Chains A and B, each alone.
Chain A
Amino acid sequence: MSATTGRPPSPLTWIAGAAGAIAAWVLLYSQLIPFSEWAVSLLPVERQSHLGESLAFFFYDTPKVLLLLTLVVFAMGVVRTWFSPERTRALLAGRREGVGNAMAASLGILTPFCSCSAVPLFIGFVSAGVPLGVTFSFLIAAPMVNEVALGLLFAMLGWKVALTYLAFGLGVAIVAGWVIGRLKLEGWLEPWVLQIHAGAVDLPQESLTWPERIRAGLEAVREIVGRVWYWIVAGIAAGALIHGYAPEELLASIMGKEAWWSVPAAVLIGIPMYSNAAGIIPVVEALLGKGAALGTVLAFMMSVIALSLPEMIILRKVLSMRLIAVFVGVVGGGILAVGFLFNLLFA
């Protein structure tokens, strides 16, 4: 843990620091292409060769993606200081389905919580009167539409794809939660969950100052970017190899739009795989560059992130096997729909 020492800096210091950081960020970002060309020129490789192409791609993409990701994670870290699981629960308790599902999915993106809190959060929501389907909307949206996935999609595929992913991710969470709510599966919870009548802890919510919010943003960058950067570098390296070596349109026949079965296949393959968005997205970009269809690739990505075996094993503590099966079926169906829709829309 980093501990702050000495007296806290004044707000002015913080504003000057933030301005300086933004200026440095813009400067770095504007030098990406010169940097990659310069880096390749230092190496004893032919710039026009396959290896040269791969290296240039790698030296351009890695700093670009890390810069954009840092920015998005920082902004999200600051925004999240206005939210907490406790506050979200109070907002959602007793909500009707429909509106409640939409609110829960949106709050799932904005509420900070550690993935290891999923079980206490689940129990806490349900025992406080948040409907089961609404709780599921929250738990589906939270991992699927996260800042790493959005930041990376934005960095590699542009804001249109990132926004569409956001909209469809929310859509899957809302609809899947609503369907689970309609099925009235409360009886399928492990019995002890319903017996718990936990009161809510009532901690005074101290309002934070701006320097504290900025510090929370920096902490998010240190923690998240610090945890995923090597995944990203590895992913881009894999992407760079595909970029330089795999022949154009190689994947069009197996992962292209004409192969309708590739969407369900992508979802099925994604379930047992467990990775965070960071490791998968650079590969995604490279696959797209070689003719794989966007919907197929995104369905694969959503499946890897939102339907993972380790998470199901954790959820098994509170859900019966049947409820988990329904969860996988409903979410998987939603992802499938997204895959087909994307393939239609981004033709």
Chain B
Amino acid sequence: MKDIKVLGPGCAKCKATADLIAAVARDAGADVTIGKVEEMREIVGYGVISTPAVVVDGKVVHVGSVPTREMVEGWLA
């Protein structure tokens, strides 16, 4: 099971990112937990300075934009 976190202070793009990951996971039948990290200190603690960012199993895989569907599929594979 993959543990996915979306990092961002609750802006529209952060929500779009979380929604996209949820949709892709549902379509692929992937077993994931999706969490949101909105606390600023925690976000910065990951070394992230541009949000939305995505963390998969503790590792930052994407920063600064809403990812594309293909990218999300790559993380879930």
Contacts and interface: CB of A to CB of B under 8 A. Distances in A.
Partners in one complex: yes
Interface of A: 1, 3-4, 84-86, 89, 112-114, 116-117, 119-121, 123-125, 127, 192, 196, 198-201, 203, 317-318
B47 A317 contact: no
Give the 3 A-B residue pairs with the shortest CB-CB distance, closest first.
Answer: A124-B49, A116-B11, A85-B50
Contacts of B16: 1
10 contacts: A3-B69, A4-B70, A89-B49, A113-B50, A116-B8, A116-B9, A124-B44, A201-B47, A203-B60, A203-B61
Interface string B5-39: 00011110110100010000000000000000000
Interface residues of B, number: 31
B49 A114 contact: no
B9, B11, B50, B51: residue with the most chain A Cβ atoms closer than 10 Å: B50
Given A1-B69, A113-B50, 20 more contacts: A1-B20, A3-B69, A84-B50, A85-B50, A86-B63, A114-B11, A116-B9, A117-B51, A121-B50, A124-B47, A124-B48, A127-B44, A198-B44, A198-B47, A199-B47, A200-B47, A203-B60, A203-B61, A203-B63, A318-B40
A273 B54 CA distance: 34
A89 B50 CA distance: 11
A125 B44 contact: no
B41 A114 contact: no
